[in-house]
Structure 1
Amino acid sequence: MAIKASQRRPFLGKVAFSPIFHSVKRRPTVVITFDDLHSSIYDLAFPFLKKRNLCCTLYVPKDFVGKVKKLRLEQIVDMYESGWDMACDSTPDDTLTKILDIERSVRDILINRDFLVSQGLTRAADHFCWTFGRWDIAVANEFRSVGFKSGRSVEPQAFYDGFGLLDIDMTIPSCGASVGNDTTRLYKQLDEVVRRGVTQFFHFHNIVQDGQKDGFCFSGFLDFVEKIYFLRNSGAVDVLTISQWWNRVRKDRIENSPNII
């Protein structure tokens, strides 16, 4: 048995879980991710997360490294050595949405993967995020053909991965908070993780001090992470990086469907 999403509109409808799915062993799971290499990720978010032993995933656009108000390479390496995953973001920002030029899309995402590999940041180099969440099945298939394992989108829905991923791998949904201090949707999705035993990716961009307007408020971010920290310590959820989650899903898929390779 498996839940198979539509690649055309994969996460617009809610899935009704029957008792048989609830009987399958699985863990409520959170994967926290960051995009665009804002320096605040290292200056504000990273120290707070590190003290709580929470490791996240950073999607890295090569051309942003070392730019003004962006992360420097040594900071990225420090985060990686602390347990964070480094995956691929697109450079420039519109490349992956130019679906009429698939060769260019593949070439540019490979530049980012090659950069990560050249720096020894290999754990999640075969995972990427779609720019602005815009994806296309033809581009996704080309990315699969060159070895990419997952593509994170921006649909806010949680998803069930107890039987593997099937065609969800290139359209992984993620609930985000980019500007302001409204955590309502974040907490709603976190409650769903615990209640239904599903997986939820969360994504953030720039984290700013209270009163600033060009990012997500630091106090709201702290409160949300503290909630995740409490749930993790109480055994209610797992908090994983993209590579940890992928390896677990791969293992579960083989165990539940031994004839699937």
Structure 2
Amino acid sequence: MANFEIQSGTLLEDFGTIGDWTVDSGGTATEDTIKVKIGSKSVKVVTNAGENCAITKDINVDLSVDSGFYLQFYLDNDTNTDGFSFFITSTTSGAFTSYFKYSHSFPCHEGWNRIFIGKDQWSNTGAEDWANNMRRIRVRANSEAGVVGTIYFDGIYYNRYNRPKIVLIFDDINDTDYTEAYDFLKLFNIKATSALVSSYVGGANRLTLAQIQEMYDYGWDFVNHTVDHTNLTTLGTQEEMETKIGACKDWLEVNGFTRNDMHKLFVYPNSGTNSTARVALTAKGVMAARSNYNRTQPTPMDEPLLIAGNANPYPYTYQDTQDKIDRAIADGGTTFLYLHKLVATSAASTEFDIADFKTLIRYAVRKESQIDFMTFSEWYRGLTEPRKLV
């Protein structure tokens, strides 16, 4: 079993034989031997411009187990496809009169994506029942208006579950990382991660080098957030991006903040990323990077430079944030939960109430039998080195 894995799950569909599927009139579906995760083939669904294309297959499977589903798909272009829908029914022919439906809207990213679909995330039409033997599945690709959409499907599992994790990250080295978060988290022996902007160190309302050293010695991670918090997508060249990335990485190395290669981990300023930025990160030796995408991050991962972060909406509610922890537990995934400045009463998207923060941590601690806190570098190492599994 892979590290973090508790249940490897059962393969429901490998998308290996296009002849097993019926294709509707909204596009085409063909076998593909290049974009493959399982076996030797995937199914490439191409919609007509502005249309939806569904493929349907007969099955005969008991899906009454409690755990949900795990789906793998590949995108050539993350702007042309407007998500997809997944249907399961116990009816054997004709229209889907009773069925479960899950609709996934983007953002997702170019390349391989893995998503969890919990049993609680399906809508139910016609009083379908998971206790029934399921007899057909349907996957429908949706395109944006006026353009052709393409999705490669390759693998649906059920009853798969990994040990849930929380990677708590504070962006921008606000001084409240030390004055509020650090001291409170110590009560529970929790270590977090700070996304460090090297030119901010010692500035007004920012962490000092002495504070960073103390937190590091206790077990906190400090990872690269560029030299000056420039959104990489606003820069014109790869060379400019490498300069911003490299200066902060060099600062971390010179000051000795390199445990577990944390200086090779990155957080995108303003979640700004594109293909050039990822090439620049690779050129500077970055191993993994957190963006946004606002969903649970599965393990294993296919795109280490596109880790899904969980941001709060603004204005947020406490429940918004707690739900991210509950979702990670339900899915068997990791929530890369990121905050900024802790304040008495939040008045900006980069602020979070101190009282809510303390309530959230106490809630997560009460769930310690179900979910673990890890730093970014501990989590990354845990993909290939033993970590707590049960």
Give the drift of 1:212: 5.5
**Amino acid of the residue matched to residue 80 of structure 1?**
Y
Q: Shift of the alpha carbon at 1:19?
A: 8.1
- Amino acid of the structure 2 residue aligned with 1:97: T
User: 2:267 matched to 1:141?
Assistant: no
Q: Are the counterparts in 2 of residues 90 and 112 from structure 1 also a CA contact under 8 Å?
A: yes
Spell out the pairing of 1:169-180 with structure 2 (5 A cutoff): 169-177=304-312
Which of 354, 361, 367 is the aligned partner of 1:225? 361
Residue 89 of structure 1, aligned match among 225, 231, 238: 225
CA contact 1:177–1:216 (8 Å) conserved in 2 = no
Identify the residue that residue 298 of structure 2 maps to in structure 1: 160
- Separation in structure 2 between the aligned mates of residue 170 and residue 246 of structure 1, nearest angstrom: 12
Instruction: Indicate which of 109, 112, 117 corresponds to 2:245.
Output: 109
Structure 1 position 5, deviation (Å): 5.3
Q: TM-score, normalised by structure 2?
A: 0.58
1:48-127 to structure 2, matched below 5 A, reads: 48-123=184-259, 124-127=262-265
Q: Say which is worse superposed, 136-145 or 78-87, in terms of deviation.
A: 136-145
Q: How does the TM-score come out when normalised to structure 1?
A: 0.85
Considering only CA atoms, is the larger Rg found in Structure 1 or Structure 2?
2
Task: Identify the structure with the greater strand proportion.
Answer: 2
Q: Quote the offset at 1:22 in angstroms.
A: 3.1
Q: Counting helix residues as a fraction of each chain, which structure ranks higher?
A: 1
Paired residues of 2:295 and 2:308 also in contact (CA < 8 A): yes
Between the aligned partners of 1:8 and 1:200, the Cα distance in structure 2 is 25
Deviations 1:185-210 (A, max 9, x none): 2122211111111111000100012x
Aligned length: 245
SS, match of residue 362 in structure 2: helix
Moved over 6 A (4+): none
What runs of 5+ residues in structure 2 fail to find an aligned partner?
A: 1-36, 39-71, 80-105, 109-114, 119-154
Matched residue, 2:175 = 39
Q: Do the aligned partners of 2:198 and 2:228 also contact (CA within 8 Å) in 1?
A: no
Match of 1:236 in 2: 370
Q: How far has the Cα of 1:171 moved from its partner? A: 1.4
3-state DSSP class of the match of 1:120?
A: coil
* 1:12-53 Cα deviation digits (max 9, x unpaired): 3654479845346x2111100001111111001110001111
- 1:22 partner amino acid: N
- Find the aligned partners of 2:215 and 2:159 in 1 and give their Cα distance: 36
The partner residue of 1:198 within 333, 338, 345 is 333
Identical residues among aligned pairs (%): 21
Distance 1:5 1:44, change over 3 A: farther
Distance 1:165 1:212 in 2: 34
